[in-house]
Amino acid sequence: MTSRAAEDIELLNRYLGGDVAAFDELVRAHEDRVFGICLRMMQDRDAALDAVQETFITVFRKADRYQAKAAFSTWLYRVAVNTCYDQLRKAKRRRTDPLPETIDPADPRSDDPIRAAELRPDIERALAALPDEFRSAVVLVDIEGLALERTAEILDVPTGTVKSRVFRGRKLLAESLGNLRAGSQHPRDE
């Protein structure tokens, strides 16, 4: 067990014992990662913030249901992904076009910040167009950098399913972004 996982369990036990400040520490420890997952799932900052808030409200109310079969963070990320799925389903029922936002900051991992800022809207649109199950797998593996096994735990599916969803999601992203023509094969896939 990692020190973070052990600390999470200790904080959770303190919270369940009545120490509300321990829950605040759990939130601070995980809010950035949860926000990153929600932002990439929801494709809208305000919706992501709502999803983060709803995630932590759910965890606050249902913390006693956590079973130590997996790390607390795995359970938390599963709650976040499920919250995003719920909100996306609700949004589909009342679809509206969002107002354009100001230019988002460039991807800090990019070598050329100007080029990264130019590509970002296209990438965000392509990611938003993916089916939910592909988007969640791609976000968790490629963007959040989680291992396939950890992603499988979070999504509650077999590791092979995660591999398939990531592969298919990447292929759809490549086609959408023009990296592959529809129906063509990537040289590695042949």
Return the CATH fold of 102-190.
Arc Repressor Mutant, subunit A (1.10.10)
Whether the predicted model's global pTM rises above the 0.85 cut: no
Residue 50 in contact with residue 57, Cβ under 8 Å? Answer: no
Residue 162 in contact with residue 144, Cβ under 8 Å? Answer: no
What's the pLDDT tens digit per position in 14-55?
999 999 999 999 999 999 999 999 999 998 899 999 999 999
Class of domain 1-100: mainly alpha
Comparing CA positions, the residue from 48, 77, 70 lying closest to residue 1 is 70
Domain ranges of the chain: 1-100, 102-190
pLDDT band at 1 (very low <50, low <70, confident <90, very high): low
Q: Which residues contact 63 (CB under 8 A, 6 or more apart)?
A: 12, 15, 16, 23
Phi-psi category of 153—alpha, beta or left, where left has phi over 0 and alpha has psi -120 to 50? alpha
Residue 165 in contact with residue 156, Cβ under 8 Å? Answer: no
Q: Could you tell me which residue, 139 or 117, shows the higher pLDDT? A: 139
